[in-house]
Amino acid sequence: MDTSNDFLSIRDFSPEKIRELLDLAADIKASPKTYAAALHGKTLAMIFEKPSLRTRVTFDVGIQQLGGFSLYLSPAEINLGKRESVYDVAKNLERMVQCIMIRTFAHEIVQRMAEYAAIPIINGLTDFSHPCQAMADFLTIREVKGTVAGLKVAFIGDGNNVAHSLMFAGAQLGARVWVATPLGYEPSAEAVKWARERGQQTGATITLTNHPVEAATDADVIYTDVWASMGQEAETEQRKRIFLPYQVDSELFSHARHDAIFLHCLPAHRGDEVTDAVIDSPHSLVYQEAENRLHVQKAIMFELMKGEAVLRPRRAEEREIVHT
């Protein structure tokens, strides 16, 4: 991986390194026994400020399959920024574990954790990005399509954290990413700007539209996500009315290529952003995609943690002064 010893955003790496990481994930998936003791005796601390099924299980199982251990830390146990500061949590955990995975709200929290901690930090999800999910998405696409470059990947729904990371990964790998949202729900301008600039180097394109059929037409991949993410529950009914024309149903999916695949980061709200007829169809790879979270996260942990000593020596400036 690049000089960064953290996995905060897909933007932090070169296209070559993203491909190398996907190659490693594919190798781990194909030959898990080869990596069974790769992180023997090492511990991953998992900080959850948001609930999770796939993130919790895949990191927990993944570190164990690499020979290590996990420690689950719930919101009640840490309560970041209230019971204990991000700085103090980082400085405590860096002396006890070899890596921290954090699933939280503000992206600034994972950035600060990475700044303060001398051990690797993995972004398990923030309101701005979901990089582990996008890595699993593109591993799935590559498994089925054989390549990513040049494919039309259409995200239909809310321009949220999942859309951001899908754009980042697509830009790194040369995909043609379309994002169809209602007016006013587009991805952040910062995310779009970065993805378009990276696309100039890789041949990728990023296209925004407010017309779902335009995005779906001739798509190789159609992707959607919930209309109201965690923290937006008060907007649920309003969003249902606004996003209804963006539901991925059989009619919308029919505009895609005949061999198009359907992806969803899950959990899915069946009958809202996607119908049963699509998510349960032969085109749907949502469970293969969910499994691939395990493999890409094992690759990320392997790369970040393989050089982390189980008993880290304290940095010189942190050693106690001994008076003689």
Specify whether 27 is catalytic: no
Specify whether 225 is catalytic: yes
> Active site residue: 265, 272, 295, 297, which one?
265
Specify whether 142 is catalytic: no
Strand partners, 45: 71, 100
Q: Rounded to 5 degrees, what are φ and ψ at 100? A: -125, 125
Q: How far apart are CA 199 and CA 93, in angstroms?
A: 38
> Active site residue: 130, 198, 239, 295, which one?
130
What is the set of domains in the chain, with CATH numbers?
10-129+294-317 (3.40.50.1370), 132-289 (3.40.50.1370)
What are the pLDDT tens digits along the chain (324 aa)? Answer: 444 699 999 999 999 999 999 999 999 999 999 999 999 999 999 999 988 999 999 999 999 999 999 999 988 888 776 778 999 999 999 999 999 999 999 999 999 999 999 999 999 999 999 999 999 999 999 999 999 999 999 999 999 999 999 999 999 999 999 999 999 999 999 999 999 999 999 999 999 999 999 999 999 999 999 998 877 788 889 999 999 999 999 999 999 999 999 999 999 999 999 999 999 999 999 999 999 999 999 999 999 999 887 755 444 444 443 333
Specify whether 293 is catalytic: yes
> Active site residue: 107, 198, 293, 295, which one?
293
Specify whether 132 is catalytic: no
Beta strands 121-125 and 69-73 are unpaired
What pTM value is reported for the model? 0.93
Specify whether 297 is catalytic: no
